[in-house]
Copies of this chain bind each other. A is one copy, B any other.
């Protein structure tokens, strides 16, 4: 879609395409009309608008704090990486080569060696930390980087797949295999908690099968959530890299008995994709519904007046409420007099603001305010003196309710299936998550994907042993794994 089409769609009335009619178009409509992002003139890339960036910045602030609490330090490495660095790890370059953007000319001259725009930074970081790590005292080395990355996408979608996106990438080095594995799982847990507690996304965590592994990893762990169309979205990954990068980049340390050993490493990341996850997991046909803990605006106050005399009083009361609530909560007072209250209601619903407060002459008379929750069609009056406390309580309730609703939706759309015909039929219609036995063979996994477009989303970390037969080939299996169609 071009910029002009996007603009036209944004302006063609207030509504969005209903989810039941065309989910993909509903998603694009919401992202554009809620002004989270816009198409850019450069194919495959997007503009993150202030409202969308504020949401990402809130996510970033929470995660950054968690990374610090777990001992990580922020760092910034160059974006341009010599092609030869990527070639040092065979699987890595093979995995990323098709997605690379390459700088061949700079400063008016052709470069001796082409430089690629980082698709991820393992290679450039490891080439450098090899110089920083000498002794076991330098370990663990716990780094994180917030930056942009570029992966050429032929079928871009706003926030979900764009040629350039924002993310964080953690990169760590450890003295032992056990410590690196522990780190990879620790960060997986940080992501799980963030998804559940902040984004209100119920998630499943586990290992990836070999075919879905990060190029260069020994083991990839992932956090998976169900979207509103019952498909899976991977919202974060954590990789145990073993010594796959340590060897080619020669990252050695002197251990306590003065022996030289290779380090053990991890990397892990989440991206602006998380914004797409929040849109798809919680939104409805009126637009976004944002989890209060991440919402750029948690409460919007819409003053309502007819006569000028009312306006003065109402605005005064609205400003007083804002001032009272503001230190603790993110609140916006919509004072515009160029649009009607009804227009404002629609606009803030589209933008998913969790709570709306109306203050009109009748509210003033009765010493109350009127609250509407974005996730439920209920209006209630609250006595003005209790307003600040009640608003906080309602936000916490809404945060929990979003999570519970998403969890219920996932549970209702998850099946345990043993027969292949039933498996294929369910994936096709209505679709959802399926726990099914798998023999462990890549071939079989590939055939299932061919037949159904479903992939293995996670293999449980600590499965309850339950012997069974592979859903497709009837080969032996020790426990079920999670299948779904995914973004």
Please give the residue numbers on chain A whose beta carbons come within 8 Å of chain B beta carbons, in ascending order.
Answer: 3-4, 7, 38, 40-42, 45-50, 53-54, 57, 73-82, 85, 97-108, 114-115, 117, 124, 127-128, 131-132, 137, 143, 147-148, 150, 152-154, 163-164, 166, 338
Contact = CB atoms under 8 A, between A and B. Distances in A.
Contact of A41 (B45, B79, B114, B128): B128
Contact of A48 (B76, B115, B154): B76
Contacts of A154: 107
Nearest to A145: B53
A104 B102 CA distance: 6
6 contacts: A7-B131, A47-B128, A50-B143, A79-B150, A100-B106, A100-B107
A60 to B, nearest CB: 11
A100 B111 CA distance: 12
A106 B152 contact: yes
A33 to B, nearest CB: 14
A76 B51 CA distance: 11
Contact of A40 (B42, B105, B124, B132): B124
Contacts of A98: 107-108
A54 B74 contact: yes
Contacts of A49: 75
B128 A3 contact: yes
A33 B79 CA distance: 24
Contact of A78 (B46, B77, B128, B137): B46
Contacts of A50: 73-75, 143
Nearest to A152: B107
Contacts of A42: 78, 80-82, 115, 124
A133 to B, nearest CB: 11
A154 B49 CA distance: 35
Given A49-B75, A107-B153, 4 more contacts: A3-B128, A4-B131, A41-B124, A42-B80
A117 B118 CA distance: 13
A106 B101 contact: yes
Contacts of A80: 42, 45, 101, 150, 163-164
Nearest to A35: B132
Contacts of A78: 40, 42, 45-47, 164
A116 B41 CA distance: 14
Nearest to A142: B50
A105 B108 contact: no
B40 A128 contact: yes
Contacts of A102: 103-106
A338 to B, nearest CB: 7
A101 B127 CA distance: 23
A95 to B, nearest CB: 13
B75 A53 contact: yes
A117 B103 contact: yes
Nearest to A41: B127
Contacts of A166: 76
B108 A97 contact: yes
Contacts of A99: 107
Contacts of A97: 108
B47 A74 contact: no
A361 B74 CA distance: 36
A41 B77 CA distance: 10
Nearest to A74: B53
B107 A105 contact: no
Nearest to A132: B38
B101 A101 contact: no
